[in-house]
Amino acid sequence: MAKSCVVTGGTKGIGRAILERFAGEGFDLFTCARNENDLQALQQELQNSYGVALEYKPADLSVDQDRKKVAQWLTDLPEVDVLVNNTGVFIPGQIHNEQDGVLHSMISTNLYSAYDITRAVVGGMMARKSGHIFTIGSTASITPYVNGGSYCISKYALYGMTKVLREEMKEYGVRVTSVLPGATLTASWEGAEIPPERFMKPEDVAEAVYSAYSLSPQSVVEEILIRPQLGDIQ
């Protein structure tokens, strides 16, 4: 029986690269995203390129009802071996002048999605005493950026959640890893007049995630911090 990997927000960027990396190892794959056409296209591409199955659920994880829908879907799966909480949004701004509602929106997307989806699958992992949960944070989880505003707040909170979860899961054999990538060439940077070679590649983040998963059950990579070779882009 193939192992299973769930990646939220899997149609683009880092999420897509992680799905492709696990597809190359023969995992059954599950994902969710807002655009059903993108999900259908990804399903076909993974089937054609890797011969693996991808099941998906159209959902906007910033919306409470959609989070509940995806959580129930995952709860009904027979087993989840790997969960990657990747759903996220970046809205630049500063605390003192960003629009009303920005913090609430990013907390819902960047924190509540990971919290609710984790709670849906972690019980099964605890019962089996195996599994690996990754949260895709950011260097903004540990570094305050002047134009980071609510994004930094939400990613700091996600980082804290992951560290608490790591402590809770020690005795159950469930590994927990916080992934903190710097600027990565994804849709979030579309329109930026910055040379592509200045960014990290999503595939590098995916390789780091798979490498951490590949360790023996006796070891865990608690934190993966990756930055562009030339440093942060602010």
- What digits encode the pLDDT tens for the residues 175-224? 999 999 998 877 666 666 677 787 889 999 999 999 999 999 999 999 99
136-to-29, 77, 86 alpha-carbon distances in Å: 18, 22, 5
pLDDT for residue 52 is more than 80: yes
CATH of the domain at 216: 3.40.50.720
Assigned domain for 164 exists: yes
Instruction: Please list the residues that pair with 28 across neighbouring strands.
Output: 4
- What digits encode the pLDDT tens for the residues 6-35? 999 999 999 999 999 999 999 999 999 999
State how far the Cα of 14 lies from the Cα of 7, in Å rounded to an integer.
Answer: 10
Domain count within the chain: 1
Place of tokens 């070779």: 229
With beta carbons less than 8 A apart as the criterion, state whether 17 and 95 touch. no
Assigned domain for 113 exists: yes
**pLDDT the model gives residue 200:** 87
Domain range holding 165? 4-226
Assigned domain for 234 exists: no
37-51, 121-135, 184-198: least confidently modelled range: 184-198
Assigned domain for 233 exists: no
State how far the Cα of 121 lies from the Cα of 39, in Å rounded to an integer.
Answer: 22
